[in-house]
Amino acid sequence: MKILYVTSEAVPFCKTGGLADVAGSLPPALAEQGAEVAVVLPLYERVRDRFGSQLKFECYDYVDLAWRHNYCGLFSMEKDGVTWYFLDNEQYFSRGTLYGQADDGERFAFFSRAVVRMLDRFKFWPEVVHCNDWQSALVPIYLKDDGVREDRYRSIKTVVTIHNIEYQGRYNPYVLGELFGLDAGWAKDGTMLLDGDANLLKGAILCADAVNAVSPTYANELKMPYFAHRMEGVMRQCSDKLYGVLNGIDMKLYDPRTDGRILKNFSPEEMAGKDDCKAELQRMTGLREEPHTPVVAMVSRLVSHKGLDLICEVLHDMMELPMQLVVLGTGDQRYEDFFRWAAQQYPGRMSVRMDYNEDLSMAIYAGADLFLMPSKSEPCGLSQMIAMRYGTVPIVRETGGLKDTVQPCESWRDAGNGFSFANYSSGDMLHVIREAVYLYKDYPDVFARLRQRAMSGDFSWARSAREYLRIYATITGQTWPIHSDTRRAVEIPAGEAAPVEEPAPAEETTPAEEPAPVVEPVPAEETTPAVEPVPAEEAAPAGEPVPAEASAPAEEPPSKKTRKTSAKAASKTAKAEKKTEKKTSAKKGTAGKKKSAE
Ligand code: GLC
């Protein structure tokens, strides 16, 4: 299988967000499974500065786009079994930042056109071109456009992955010809038109052979107005080719056993190092050095969809609990101001850093006890998986990938790997934070087992890569993979590669109802976990990271303390359920405004 992966950012070359982590890890994971993989990226200034000496100049050509005729250089690098290509044009890419420029449309139209133009120059003619987000959304469109004239473009199948549907690449349709070199028919027939705008992502979704969202729950949420930023109709229209493959994390890079970035290493079997990491975190951030006070942490962009309004509403109630709070991130002024002000009210108990700081973020993952992500929406989310890997138990709202990776703690049967709440409600969030804090303080043995389960989840890219290969196989009609460990996938006819199914009608749903799409469970024989969403109530979702034993009750008979815990926890759970039932007044959000991605 020959795959060309097109992305506007990838670790370690350039990064503004989660897309870079995915694009840095998935291609090597595909290569490890036997696929031939090349990745193509723009040659940004920062890539040239840091990696220039390692790049090999391949060739150059000229790219025609509308009336423009622009130079394009091609550089390459071999790494992790993958060929990384970089497209060079200094006018477009020798800039201080990746995105957020007035001519982003022109820059990424050039990039997408150049990818198609340079297809002959790559080491293979791809069977699948896999694009990501709006920046490479024009690629499937150009391939269709060129395919009208030349057969060979029609042989290429396309996949588009949506990492965040908020960013769609919207332009005045008037510029279709001038900026993108496309006939006005692309807007007139509606393929690229949404709400009067030319919409690059919509065009890609309609043109691609498969569309993927970065978690099963997000794939279903995208059919609902609350999450889809006006694209719900388009997503419903393409539901027969819609998939939801959960992202993974780099399990080697994020390994508390070996990570050299943290003070002391530790593992589920030997947790002493985590206590040292906690003390170090408290020292670094000016929190009181109290080993028995749970440290709740947030590492997040400080923007609205991360659920920060909930925290603003109940921060003082949170701080009445016996806990400490550490916040790391940058973002909107109003949140930065709020957190700065709040930290002054709780010296020694609350600490904030308005910064993007890798070292401190690792110290937080390793040293904190609880990791808070109350997101309004979260396509996949990687931080909760990293936190779990380091034994920092997540508290999340049940949306997108958060719902698919975190199963709520049920102490009475030793199940779950974190805490979660369904409604976008500060009261509900406070309730689970309280539950988590008191579980930590009053029932350390139960909390320790919860922590163990969180740490032993499988968030590896190998799992996700297998799911992607099944999608590629489905659209190319090939049989793949052929490895024995994935034999079951071969037995499934290509057509059954499990697109995400229609959720319950969404028009009138509230966010509270939305995160639990009604999907028929697929019989055990046929399932391949990461693609299919499963009903929230019945089974652990696709990314099920909890190991088999985790869902079974603990083998040893519970101690007296545990029994007490179980009874208390069970009654708490019952109360919580009752409370959740009563709550129907979740807030309804509105689709956000257009924003640039950086
Ligand atoms: C975007 C999403 C995030 C996801 C990442 C990688 O940044 O907001 O949830 O994990 O892309 O797919």
Is residue 405 in contact with ligand 1, taking CB distance under 6 Å? no
Contacting residues for 494 by C-beta, under 8 A, at least 6 apart: 473, 474, 477, 478, 479
Residue pair 357/328 in contact (Cβ under 8 Å)? The answer is yes
Is residue 22 in contact with ligand 1, taking CB distance under 6 Å? yes
Helix axes 461-476, 18-32, angle to 10 degrees: 70
Q: Which helix (H) or strand (E) holds 242?
A: strand 242-244
Question: Whole-angstrom Cα distance, residue 14 to residue 476?
Answer: 31
57 CA → ligand 1 middle, Å: 32
Ligand 1 atom closest to the Cα of residue 214 is 12
Our CA angle for 531, 551, 322, nearest 5°, is 105
161 CA → ligand 1 middle, Å: 11
Predicted pLDDT of residue 219 = 98
Instruction: Give nearest CA residue, ligand 1 atom 6.
Output: 18
Structural tokens at position 526: 């046929």
Nearest to 159 by CA among 4, 314, 358, 371: 4
Give the sheet arrangement for strand 197-199, strand by strand. Answer: 170-171, 197-199, 193-194
Is residue 307 in contact with ligand 1, taking CB distance under 6 Å? no
Predicted pLDDT of residue 250 = 93
Q: How far is CA 17 from CA 230, 333, 356, 421, in A?
A: 23, 19, 11, 25
The pTM for the full model equals: 0.81
392 CA → ligand 1 middle, Å: 20
pLDDT tens by residue, 496-505: 344 554 444 4
21 CA → ligand 1 middle, Å: 9
Question: Whole-angstrom Cα distance, residue 389 to residue 400?
Answer: 19
Instruction: Give nearest CA residue, ligand 1 atom 10.
Output: 381
Is residue 426 in contact with ligand 1, taking CB distance under 6 Å? no
Instruction: Give nearest CA residue, ligand 1 atom 5.
Output: 18
Q: How many CA atoms lie within 13 A of 230 on its CB side?
A: 16
- Tally the residues of the chain: 598
Instruction: Specify the 3-state DSSP secondary structure of 124.
Output: coil
pLDDT tens by residue, 519-578: 333 333 333 334 443 333 333 334 334 343 333 333 333 343 434 444 444 444 444 444
pLDDT (tens, 9 = 90+) of the chain, 598 residues, equals: 999 999 999 999 999 989 999 999 999 999 999 999 999 999 999 999 999 999 999 999 999 999 999 999 999 999 999 999 999 999 999 999 999 999 999 999 999 999 999 999 999 999 999 999 999 999 999 999 999 999 999 999 999 999 999 999 999 999 999 999 999 999 999 999 999 999 999 999 999 999 999 999 999 999 999 999 999 999 999 999 999 999 999 999 999 999 999 999 999 999 999 999 999 999 999 999 999 999 999 999 999 999 999 999 999 999 999 999 999 999 999 999 999 999 999 999 999 999 988 899 999 999 999 999 999 999 999 999 999 999 999 999 999 999 999 999 998 899 999 999 999 999 999 999 999 999 999 999 999 999 999 999 999 999 999 999 999 999 999 987 555 444 333 333 333 344 554 444 433 333 333 333 333 333 333 333 344 433 333 333 343 343 433 333 333 333 434 344 444 444 444 444 444 444 433 333 333 333 333 3
Residue pair 233/200 in contact (Cβ under 8 Å)? The answer is no
Nearest to 117 by CA among 77, 58, 176, 74: 74
Our CA angle for 375, 334, 401, nearest 5°, is 10
Nearest to 129 by CA among 152, 99, 163, 103: 152
Report DSSP state, residue 176: H
DSSP letter string over 11-77? TTTB-SSHHHHHHHHHHHHHHHTT-EEEEEEE--HHHHHHHGGG-EEEEEEEEEETTEEEEEEEEEE
281 CA → ligand 1 middle, Å: 26
Is residue 378 in contact with ligand 1, taking CB distance under 6 Å? yes
Torsional sign, CA 465, 467, 471, 474 = positive
Question: Whole-angstrom Cα distance, residue 568 to residue 230?
Answer: 44
Ligand 1 atom closest to the Cα of residue 247 is 12
Is residue 379 in contact with ligand 1, taking CB distance under 6 Å? yes
163 CA → ligand 1 middle, Å: 5
Is residue 17 in contact with ligand 1, taking CB distance under 6 Å? yes
To test ligand 1's pocket by mutation, which of 8, 214, 300, 404 has the most ligand atoms within 8 angstroms of CB? Answer: 214
Ligand 1 atom closest to the Cα of residue 161 is 12
Instruction: Specify the 3-state DSSP secondary structure of 297.
Output: strand
Predicted pLDDT of residue 482 = 54
Is residue 247 in contact with ligand 1, taking CB distance under 6 Å? yes
Ligand 1 atom closest to the Cα of residue 401 is 9
Query: What is the percent of the chain where pLDDT is above 70?
Result: 80
Structural tokens at position 182: 């496309």
Question: Whole-angstrom Cα distance, residue 291 to residue 119?
Answer: 58
Ligand 1 atom closest to the Cα of residue 382 is 10
Predicted pLDDT of residue 356 = 87
17 CA → ligand 1 middle, Å: 7
Predicted pLDDT of residue 480 = 72
379 CA → ligand 1 middle, Å: 6
Is residue 404 in contact with ligand 1, taking CB distance under 6 Å? no
What are the E-state strand segments in 379-493? 393-397, 419-421
Residue pair 374/397 in contact (Cβ under 8 Å)? The answer is yes
Q: How many CA atoms lie within 13 A of 169 on its CB side?
A: 28
Ligand 1 atom closest to the Cα of residue 21 is 6
237 CA → ligand 1 middle, Å: 23
Burial (CB < 10 A; 0-12, 13-18, 19+), residue 150, is exposed
Residue pair 343/314 in contact (Cβ under 8 Å)? The answer is no
